[in-house]
């Protein structure tokens, strides 16, 4: 109750935070300076260490998907707590502290508004509103492994959770479809659980990397962009089941973080999925690089 009655807190930023505002198809994006934010009770300000460009970001910039404008794109990032609107707990229930390294759940795109300019990861800072699931990630792993966790990692964990609800993944043959980094993360999760993943993605970048993430190549190509897993249910009613994605839960974010931090996961070259980071000033160049498709994730380091 005390937290709910706290007054908003003004946070001055010196130097001012920077954000790349997406103005809509056919309009040039704008870099905006944000000299301060107003944190409501339970809000968190995160200074971004690394943000990655995802397929959704490209779809929006290419005009294939719509979102509120103006906004700030970028939903996969890792950063450090820069300011807290009172006592704010991470998903483990323990209060967050300044300087802790965190990732946060992916929320819907939000239109920039008064005192709400820092609404996405293509920025030096992001303003997370009360109730946003936030998970600690520790100091051991490089940022390039952690930044995709809220997107690709959490989506794969959501599929993995549904798969485990339907069957025991140990020694289960699972055909994984989808494009981008997601099917490789899911394949590694299945392999780590004792299953036998097969990659049926039509994305040649995924197929070329499948073996390094514990997966065989399926003979067929499944022309789906969204992540999915197919397997045969056990008797007495054998049938093919398909598990598709949905909105990840906070528990899926926790599971994705735990998977990436597990010692056994280090056999999989997740760092190789992400480009060397470009500075924030070269964001437009980074988007072009992501569009070229050489890397499954192109990284931006706002502090570079």
Give pLDDT, residue 227: 96
Is the per-residue pLDDT at 3 higher than 50?
Answer: no
Torsion of CA 279, 49, 209, 234, to 10 degrees: -150
Is the per-residue pLDDT at 222 higher than 80?
Answer: yes
Structure-block tokens of residue 145 = 């492994």
Q: What is the residue-wise DSSP string for 7-55?
A: PPEEEEEEEEEEEEEB--TTS--EEEEEEEEEEPTT-EEEEEEEEEE-H
- Can you tell me the distance from the alpha carbon of 231 to that of 235, in angstroms, rounded to the nearest whole number? 13
**Tens digit of each residue's pLDDT (9 = 90 or more) over 260-294:** 999 999 999 999 999 999 999 999 999 999 999 99
- Can you tell me the distance from the alpha carbon of 145 to that of 273, in angstroms, rounded to the nearest whole number? 9
Is the per-residue pLDDT at 1 higher than 70?
Answer: no
Task: Kindly indicate the confidence band of residue 59, based on its pLDDT and cuts at 50, 70 and 90.
Answer: very high
Give pLDDT, residue 7: 79
Give pLDDT, residue 6: 67
Structure-block tokens of residue 300 = 């931006």
- Nearest partner of 178 among 257, 271, 244, judged by Cα: 244
**Tens digit of each residue's pLDDT (9 = 90 or more) over 134-149:** 999 999 999 999 999 9
Mean of the per-residue pLDDT values for the chain?
94
Strand, helix or coil for residue 106: coil
**Tens digit of each residue's pLDDT (9 = 90 or more) over 74-109:** 999 999 999 999 999 999 999 999 999 999 999 899
Long-range contacts of 288-291 (CB under 8 A, 24+ apart): 290/53, 290/57, 290/58, 291/58, 291/62
- Nearest partner of 271 among 59, 54, 52, 55, judged by Cα: 52
Provide the angle, in degrees to the nearest 10, between the axes of the packed helices 154-166 and 250-261: 100
Counting Cα atoms < 13 Å in the Cβ hemisphere of 231 gives 28
- Can you tell me the distance from the alpha carbon of 102 to that of 77, in angstroms, rounded to the nearest whole number? 9
Structure-block tokens of residue 70 = 């103006």
Give pLDDT, residue 107: 87
**Tens digit of each residue's pLDDT (9 = 90 or more) over 105-142:** 998 999 999 889 999 999 999 999 999 999 999 999 99
**Tens digit of each residue's pLDDT (9 = 90 or more) over 170-204:** 999 999 999 999 999 999 999 999 999 999 999 99
Going from the C-alpha of 88 to that of each of 28, 37, 53, 127, the distances in angstroms are 37, 17, 28, 13
- Can you tell me the distance from the alpha carbon of 128 to that of 55, in angstroms, rounded to the nearest whole number? 22
Is the per-residue pLDDT at 209 higher than 80?
Answer: yes
Give pLDDT, residue 239: 78
Task: Kindly indicate the confidence band of residue 250, based on its pLDDT and cuts at 50, 70 and 90.
Answer: very high
pLDDT, mean of residues 22-42: 95
pLDDT, mean of residues 295-299: 97
Q: Is the pTM of this model over 0.75?
A: yes
| Beta strand pairing call for 298-301 and 278-279 | parallel
Give pLDDT, residue 235: 61
């Amino acid at each position: 109750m005390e937290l709910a009655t706290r007054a908003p807190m003004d946070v001055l930023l010196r130097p001012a935070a920077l954000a790349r505002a997406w103005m809509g198809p056919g309009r040039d994006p704008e870099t905006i300076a944000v000299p301060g934010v107003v944190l409501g009770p339970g809000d968190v300000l995160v200074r971004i260490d690394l943000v990655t460009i995802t397929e959704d970001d490209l779809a929006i910039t290419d005009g294939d998907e719509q979102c509120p404008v103006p906004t700030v794109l970028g939903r996969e990032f890792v950063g450090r707590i820069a300011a807290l609107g009172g006592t704010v707990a991470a998903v483990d229930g323990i209060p967050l502290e300044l300087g802790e390294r965190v990732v946060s759940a992916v929320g819907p795109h939000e239109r920039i508004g008064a005192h709400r300019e820092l609404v996405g990861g293509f920025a030096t800072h992001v303003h997370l509103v009360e109730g946003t699931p936030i998970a600690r990630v520790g100091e051991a792993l490089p940022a390039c492994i952690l930044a995709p966790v809220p997107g690709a990692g959490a989506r794969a964990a959501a599929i993995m959770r549904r798969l485990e609800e339907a069957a025991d993944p140990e020694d289960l043959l699972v055909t994984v479809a989808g494009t981008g980094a997601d099917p490789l993360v899911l394949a590694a999760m299945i392999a780590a659980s004792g299953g036998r993943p097969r990659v049926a993605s039509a994305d040649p970048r995924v197929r070329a990397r499948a073996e390094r993430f514990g997966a065989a190549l399926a003979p067929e190509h499944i022309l789906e962009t969204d992540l999915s897993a197919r397997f045969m249910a056990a008797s007495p009613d054998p049938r093919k089941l398909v598990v598709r994605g949905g909105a990840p839960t906070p528990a899926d974010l926790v599971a994705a973080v735990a998977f990436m931090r597990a010692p056994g996961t280090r056999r999989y070259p997740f760092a190789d999925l992400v480009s060397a980071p470009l500075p924030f000033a070269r964001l437009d160049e980074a988007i072009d690089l992501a569009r070229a498709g050489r890397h499954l994730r192109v990284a931006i380091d706002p502090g570079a």
